[in-house]
Amino acid sequence: MTILINNTSKTPVYQQIAVQIRQSMLKGELSEGEALPSVRSLSSDLGVSVITIKKAYDLLEDQGLVVTQAGRGTFVLEKNLDLVRDFKLKEIQDILAKAIDTAKSSGIKQDDVQEIFSLLWEENHAGN
């Protein structure tokens, strides 16, 4: 997981951290039940106060993405799966929208596109 913070940005650092961790989760880089880095190690690594890291983790907890167990750490919540799915669906939607755009602007018909879609889906399956 890569986290980059910008100290000069208007966005508070804790928010930047929370957002990036969230994106990591939605991209599937962090799996359910996986532990986030310890507050202290992340604090050392980013050069940021433990208070700030804790606040970022608290924010993620408020958003229902993680749960903190005293003495054990902070873990990615299972409910997360749905959000990942939603996120991916959105991604797919965007990609398809682009494809449709390209088709329409070049005068290609829906049937042709759907044929390509089915072929590719089969190929992909076979490849797997």
Partner 1 sequence: MLEINQIEKSYPKFHLGPVDLTLPEGYIMGLVGENGAGKSTLIYTIMNLLPPKSGEVSIFGMNYKENEVLIKEHIGFIYEQSSFYENLTPSSMARLLRLSYKNWDDATYRRLMEQFSIAEKPLKKLSKGQRATYHFIAALSHNARLLILDEPTSGLDPIVRRELLDELRRYVEPGNRSVLFSTHITSDLEQVADLITFIHKGQVLFSKDVEELRESYHVVKGAKEAIDTLPLLGKQSKRTHVQGLYEGERGDLADAQVELEPASLEDIMFFMKRGDEHEQIS
**Which part of the chain contacts partner 1 (CB under 8 A), choosing from 47-55, 74-82, 104-112, 116-124?**
47-55
Say how far apart CA 71 and CA 65 lie, in whole Å: 19
Q: Least distance in Å: CB of 125 to partner 1?
A: 48
Q: Least distance in Å: CB of 102 to partner 1?
A: 44
Is residue 12 a contact residue for partner 1 (CB under 8 A)?
A: yes
3-state secondary structure (DSSP) of residue 76: strand
Residues 14-33 that bind partner 1 (CB under 8 A): 14
Q: Is 105 exposed, middle or buried (0-12, 13-18, 19+ CB in 10 A)?
A: exposed
Token code pair at residue 79: 């409910």
Question: How does DSSP classify residue 5?
Answer: -
- Nearer to partner 1 among residue 43 and residue 113 (C-beta): 43
Interface contacts to partner 1, rule CB under 8 A: 12, 14, 40-41, 43-44, 47, 49-52, 55
